[in-house]
Structure 1
Amino acid sequence: MLQHLIRALLVLTALASVGAAAARADETTAETFDRGPFWFRSVTAEGDHVTGLRPFWDAVRDDEGQLISASVLYPLWHREVAPAAEVSRWSFFNLINYERNDATGTTRFDAWPFYFSRQTDTDSSDDYRAVFPIYGDVPQRFGQDRLNWVFFPLYGRFEKNGAVTTTTPWPFIKTITGEGHRGFEVWPLGGHRESTMHESAESFALWPLYYRKRTGPADNPTSLQTGFLPLYALDRSPGYRSETYLWPFFGYVDRTEPYQYHARHYFWPLWVQGRGDDRYVNRWAPFYSHSIRRGYDKTWVMWPLWRQATWHDANLQHERRQFLYFLYHSTVQTSLHNPDAAPARKTHLWPFFSSWDNGAGRKQVQAFSPVEVFFPHNERVRRLWTPLFNVYRYNRDDSEDVVEHSVLWNLIKWSRRPGERAHRVSLLGPLLRLRTAPGEKSFTLFGDQLGLEYDDGLRARTPFTSSSSTASP
C-alpha cells in the first residue's frame, strides 16, 4: 500500500510542479550548491553573514551586524564599507562613484566623464570641483601632477615632473614650459621639446614618419629612439639594441644586460624567433606561436582558436587550456610540494556547464553556466548570478560521504549517503520528502510542521502535535 501511495503522490507532485514556484533554500559554506534561485542566506569562511534576493540585492554583515557591503542589481550599484579604516564607498556601474574617508575627512564624488570632485572637512589646496569639458582644475589625478581645462579641447594645461604643457587646441598646438623645460609642437607637422633638468629631448616631423627621442648628451646620448618610417627604426640603450628595416619586414633585438636575449623578426609582430636567458620565442602567427618568459610557457595554435599556458608560483603548478578564449576554458593546479596529490581542476564549456574538483574529494558540476567563466574571481557575481542558471547541479563531498543532485533550482533534489546506504528525495522543496534505506522506507508530505508522515505508520502532523493520528499502512 505504501508503494502505491508514494507513486500517487509522485504523480500529483509532478503535475503540481508545472505552476509551482521554486522553494527558498538557505545557503551554508559547507553546501555551496544548496542554493535557491532567489532568496538566500549563507555564512562565509570568515564568519560574515550574507543575505540576498537574486539578482536584485545582497548584503554582507559581520558577526556584530555591521554592514560590510551591499549591492542592488550588481554591478549596477554596490557599496563597500571598511569600518576599521573608516572608509565607505559606493558606485553606480563604476561610472558614478562616491567615497568617504572619515579618518582624513575627505569626500570624493565622480560622475564619469562629466563631473569630478574632492572635498575635505577643512580647507585644502587639493580640493576641487571640475565639470568636463567646461572647466577643471584637478591636482594629482589622471596621471598628472595638475590638470586644467577650459572648454576642452580648446584649452588644456598638463603639469608633470616640472614640465607644463599648454595645448590650444588639443592635440594640435602645444607649448612646453617650466623650469628646465621648453618646446613647441604643431601636430602632426612637427615639433621639438627638451629638458635640461632630465637631459632629454624629443622631436618629430610629419608624425609618425620621423621621430627622435634621446636621453643624455646630444653628441653621445645614453639612450636613443629614432626612425624614418617605414625605411628604418633604431632603439638603443645600455645593453640593448634593436633595428628594423623596411618596417615591419626585417629587424632584430640584441640584449646583453640585465639578461641575454637575441631575436629576429619578420613582419613584426607576426613572425619572431628569439632565444635568451629564461626566454624563448618561436612565433609564426597566426598559425603557431610558442614562448617562454620567466617560467611562463604559452602556446597558440591558429590564433585565437587554441591557447595553452603553464606557469607556477611558490606552491602550485598551473596549466590552462582555452578554445576561442572562453568557449572552452580549463585550469589544472598541481601541488609542487606534494606532486603525488590529486590535482585541482576547473572546467567551463560555455554556456552549457562548469565543473570544479578541488582534488581533495569535493566535486561540483552546474548546467547551465553562462557567467562563471567571465568572472572567475568575483564572489558577488558568483553569489548573485551563477545560481540563477542552476537547471542542474551535482555535488560530491567525499569527506562527508555525500552525493547530491538537484534539478530546477532544488525543486527536485536527490541525495545519497553511501555510509548509510540511504537515499533521500525532495520534490517541490519541502512539499514531499522521501527516504529509502535497506529495510526502511519513509516519506513526509507538506513539511515537518503540517502534513503527513510515514515511517512505521501513517501520522498527521500539525503545529501543535507531531503525531495526532496513526494508521496502519
Structure 2
Amino acid sequence: MKLLRHLALLGLTAALVARAGTEESNVWPIRVAELAPGGEVESWRALGPLLFEKPAPTGGTVAGFRPFYIVRTDTNGHVRERDFLYPLFTWRDDGEVTQWSVFQLINSSGQTAGSLPPANGKNEAFDVWPFWFSRDTGDPATSYKALFPIAGTIKYRFGYDRISWTIWPLYMQSDKKGAITTSTPWPFIRRTTGTEQGFALWPLFGWREKPGVFEKRYYLWPLIWNNTTQPAADAPAGTPGAHASGFLPFYTRETRAGFVNQSYLWPFFGYTHKTQPVAYDETRYLWPLLVQGRGERYVNRWGPFYTHSIIKGTDKTWVMWPLFREAQWSDAGLLQTKTQFFFFLYWSLDQQSATNPNLPHASKTHVWPLFSSWKNGAGREQFQFISPLEVFMPNSPKVREAWNPLFALYRYDQQSPVQVRRDALFGLVTWRRDLDHREFHLGPLFSVDSRPDRGRIAIGNGLLGLKRAESGRGWKPFWFDFKRQPAKAQTTSR
C-alpha cells in the first residue's frame, strides 16, 4: 500500500475520466464525451483539447478553456480556484480566505466576503513586488504599509522583526531580535545598536559583536575576515568556540569542536577533517573536479569524467558530466533509482519495494520532448506522445491540467489490464476496451461498438449502419438512427 500511495503522485495526464461501464459520444471536433450507464454526461471536451469539463480527483469538477481559463468547484458547487494562463494569474477561495496572485509579483489575501472572521484573527495583505507592501491585522503592532523605495515599514517579514526605509538607499533601518542596524546610505555606512553592537564602512572594513556570543570582522570585503563564535550555553564545559578566518584567494580556515576545514588558493585546494558527531575526511586537489572523501560520506570525484558519492544514503554516479547521472536512495520503504541523460533529454524514476524486490516496479520516464510514460506497478499505466513540459514541472497538477493536453497527439490510459483507452489527434481517433466492451471512433465519421448483448457499426453517428440487437441474432441495417441504447451498469467484480 505504501508503494501505491507514493506512486499515485506520479500520474501524467489530465485525460477524460473513463470508468468501467461508460461509453463515448464522439462528435469531433465539436464534442467528445464520456457517458454514464444512464446516459448522463460525466466528462466532455470540445474543439480538440481546448474546452473541457470533468470530475476533479478530490471531488467536485474542473472545467475551462485551455490554456486561458481553468475553474475548479467543490462538491457543493462553490468555485474554489480560478487560473488564467497559469501561472500568470491564480485565484483561490477556501471559504474563509480569498487569495489571488499575478505571477507571484502582485499578491492579495483577505477574508472571504460573507464568511466568519478567521479563528486566528484578521490578516489582509496586498503586495506589488518590489514596490508596495501592506498588511492589515487590526493591530498597529503588526500592521504596516510601505512604498519602496520612497518610505515605509515592513514588520515580521524576510527574517526581520522590522525593516524601515526613507528614500532608499539613503536611509534604511532593520530590527532583528533587538539588534537594530541603521544604514546611511545602504550598504556603505552601517551602525548596529541594541542586543548587538557594530559599525561598517563597506567594503573597507566592518565589525559586529554580541557579547558572550560572537564577534565578526572583515576588511576589504570579501577578501579578509575573522569571525569567532562562543560555544552554546548548554555545551559541555571545555567545548571550544568556532573560528573562521580567511584571506582570499590565498588561505581560509574554519574550526569548531571536532571539525577543521582549510583551503589554499581557495577554493581549489584544501582538506576537511571531522571527528564529531561522525567522522569524515576530504581532500580537494582541484575543486570541484578532483575530490576524495571517506567516512560519513563517500566521495570519489574525477570530474568531469567520473564521480561517485554516497551521502546520507543517496548513492550518486556521474559519467562525463553532465551527460549521464544515476542516483539511488531509499524512502519510506521504497528503493528509488533515478537515471538522467543530459539532465532532461532522458529522465526516468524506478520505484520498487525495499523489502520485497519481487513486487512489481513502478516507473516514470520522459524522453524530451517526445513522450512521457508512467506505471504505478498495480496495473495503472499512462503514455503521452509529445510531452515538452512534464519533465520540468512533474509535481504541478495545474500545469498538467492547463498545458499538457495541448501537446497530446496520442494518449494511452490503462485503468487496469482489462480497461484501456487510446486517444489520437485530440479525440479524432479513439478506441477502448473493457472487460466485455469494445469501442472505436473516427470522429463522427465511423464508429464500432461491440458488447456481448448487442453491437453497432455506424457511419455519420447513425446516418446509416448495421446493428445487432441481441446475442446470436443477425446484423440488421439501419439509417437515421442517432440514438444509441444506454449502456447497462456493470456489476462484474474487478
TM-score (norm 2): 0.81
Q: 1:464 to 1:382 in 2, by over 3 A?
A: closer
SS at match of 2:31: coil
Q: Which residue of 2 aligns with 1:302?
A: 320
> Paired residue for 1:168?
184
Aligned ranges 1:45-124 → 2 under 5 Å: 45-83=57-95, 86-101=96-111, 102-103=117-118, 104-120=121-137, 122-124=138-140
1:421-436 matches, within 5 Å, as 423-428=438-443, 430-435=444-449
- 1:26 offset after TM fit, Å? 5.2
Q: Distance in 2 between matches of 1:137 and 1:27?
A: 58
Counterpart residue type for residue 116 of structure 1: F
Q: Which residue of 2 aligns with 1:471?
A: none
Q: Is the 8 A contact 2:152 2:165 kept in 1?
A: yes
Relative to 1, partners in 2 of residues 1:24 and 1:116: Cα closer, same or farther, differing over 3 Å? farther
Q: Is 2:40 the partner of 1:23?
A: no
Q: Equivalents in 2 of 1:113, 1:24: separation in Å?
A: 46
- Structure with the greater relative contact order (CA < 8 A, sep ≥ 6): 1 or 2? 2
Separation in structure 2 between the aligned mates of residue 32 and residue 261 of structure 1, nearest angstrom: 58
Q: Give the alignment partner of residue 412 of structure 2, picking from 371, 394, 405.
A: 394
User: Any gaps of 5 or more consecutive residues in structure 1?
Assistant: 1-16, 467-473
Q: Output the CA distance in 2 between the equivalents of 1:333 and 1:52.
A: 34
Report what 2:199 is aligned to: 184
Paired residue for 2:350? 332
Unaligned 5+ residue runs, structure 2?
1-25, 37-41, 112-116, 232-238, 468-474, 486-494
Contact 1:26-1:40 within 8 A present in 2 as well: no
Distance change in 2, residues 1:188/1:32 (3 Å) = farther
Of 134, 144, 160, the residue aligned with 2:160 is: 144
Other structure's SS at 1:374 match:
coil
Hey, what does 2:291 align to over in structure 1?
272
Structure 1 residue identity aligned to 2:426? W
Q: Indicate conservation of the 8 Å contact 1:270/1:283, yes or no.
A: yes
Cα deviation 1:266-289 (Å, max 9, x = unaligned): 222332111113x21112222222
Tell me how far 1:348 sits from its aligned partner: 0.5
In 2, the alpha carbon distance for the partners of 1:463 and 1:132 equals 66
Written as runs of structure 1 = structure 2, the 5 A alignment for 1:358-373 is 358-373=376-391
Shifted more, 434-443 versus 152-161: the winner is 434-443
Output the amino acid matched with 1:415.
R
What are the residue-to-residue correspondences of 1:406-445 with 2, within 5 Å?
A: 406-417=423-434, 419-420=435-436, 423-428=438-443, 430-435=444-449, 442-445=456-459
CA contact (8 A) 1:27 1:41 kept: no
Match of 2:374 in 1: 356
Corresponding residue for residue 19 of structure 2: none
Q: How has the CA–CA distance of structure 1 residues 246 and 375 changed in structure 2, closer, same or farther, with 3 Å as cutoff?
A: closer
Shift of 1:108: 0.6
Q: Which amino acid aligns with 1:207?
A: W
3-state SS in 2 of match to 1:372: coil
Does the alignment pair 1:239 with 2:253? no
- Structure 1 letter corresponding to 2:267: P
Q: Which residue identity is paired with 1:142?
A: F
Q: Return closer, same or farther for 1:442/1:293 CA change in 2, 3 Å cut-off.
A: same
Match of 2:10 in 1: none
CA distance in 1, matches of 2:339, 2:273: 32
Work out the percentage of aligned pairs sharing the same amino acid: 43
Partner Cα distance (1:245, 1:343) in 2: 48
Call closer, same or farther: CA 1:438–1:144 in 2, change over 3 Å: closer
1:208-243: CA deviation from partner (whole Å, max 9, x where unpaired): 2210111129xx960001012222211011121111
User: How far does residue 252 in structure 1 lie from its aligned partner after superposition?
Assistant: 1.0
Amino acid at match of 1:225: A
- CA change 1:293–1:326 in 2 (3 A) is same
The residue type equivalent to 1:44 in the other structure is A
8 Å CA contact retained: 2:32, 2:44: no
Query: Counterparts in 2 of 1:29-44, with a 5 A limit?
Result: 37-44=49-56
Q: 1:142 to 1:134 in 2, by over 3 A?
A: same
Matched position secondary structure for 1:387: helix
